[in-house]
Amino acid sequence: MKKTVLVTGGCGYIGSHTVVDLINHGSNVIIVDNLANSSIEVLNRIKIITGVMPLFYKLDILDREGLEDVFANNKIDAVIHFAAFKAVGESVEKPLDYYYNNISGSIILFQIMQKYNVKNIVFSSSSTVYGNPKTVPVDESFPTSATNPYGWSKLITEQILRDLHVADNSFTVAILRYFNPVGAHKSGILGEDPKGIPNNLMPYISQVAIGTREYVNVFGNDYDTYDGTGVRDYIHVLDLSNGHILALDYLYKNQGQVLITNLGTGRGYSVIDVIKSYSRACGRELLYKICPRRAGDVAVSYANCDHAYKTIGFKAQYNLDDMCNDSWKWQSNNPNGYEK
Ligand SMILES: NC(=O)c1ccc[n+]([C@@H]2O[C@H](COP(=O)([O-])OP(=O)(O)OC[C@H]3O[C@@H](n4cnc5c(N)ncnc54)[C@H](O)[C@@H]3O)[C@@H](O)[C@H]2O)c1
- Listing DSSP states for 200-222 in one string gives SHHHHHHHHHHTSSS-EEEE-S-
pTM assigned to the model: 0.98
**Per-state percent for the chain, helix, strand, coil, to nearest 5:** 40, 20, 40
CATH of domain 4-183+235-265+302-317: 3.40.50.720
Pick from 31, 32, 41, 86 the residue to mutate for probing ligand 1's pocket: most ligand atoms within 8 Å of its CB: 86
pLDDT score recorded for residue 340: 66
Pick from 8, 11, 14 the residue to mutate for probing ligand 1's pocket: most ligand atoms within 8 Å of its CB: 14
Give the list of residues 6+ apart from residue 63 with CB closer than 8 angstroms, or none: none
pLDDT score recorded for residue 296: 81
Regarding the beta carbon of 10 and ligand 1, being less than 6 Å apart is answered no
CB atoms within 10 A of CB 186: 14
**% of the chain exceeding 90 in pLDDT:** 95
Q: With a cut of 80, say whether residue 177 has pLDDT above it.
A: yes
CB atoms within 10 A of CB 126: 22
Q: Would you please indicate which residues are annotated as catalytic (active-site) residues? A: 150
Give the start-to-end residue ranges of the domains of the chain.
4-183+235-265+302-317
pLDDT score recorded for residue 312: 98
Query: What digits encode the pLDDT tens for the residues 75-114?
Result: 999 999 999 999 999 999 999 999 999 999 999 999 999 9
**At 236, which amino acid appears?**
H
CB atoms within 10 A of CB 69: 14
Compute the half-sphere exposure of residue 36: CA atoms within 13 Å on the CB side of its CA: 19
Nearest CA to ligand 1 atom 1: 181
